[in-house]
Structure 1
Amino acid sequence: MEVKRTIGRGRGRISSKVCVADIFIYLSVSSH
């Protein structure tokens, strides 16, 4: 949980666009 919080904080601020890309990748993997 602690690790997730640190990653979430760094990601939320540095990459809000990467979050969207992550969702697309997640959907792609989910499709397969």
Structure 2
Amino acid sequence: MLLMLMAMATTTMVVMRNHELGRRNPTRKGTS
């Protein structure tokens, strides 16, 4: 249960980070 929560939290953090990076660099939006 704890491992699942940690994995979910990590995934959320990565997704949010990628979203912010994509918003900051509009030129790289087409590549990914």
- TM interval, shorter chain, is 0.3 to 0.5
Structure (1 or 2) with the larger CA radius of gyration: 2
TM-score by length of 2: 0.48
Larger RCO: 1 or 2 (CA < 8 Å, sep 6+): 1
* Structure with the higher fraction of residues in helix conformation: 1
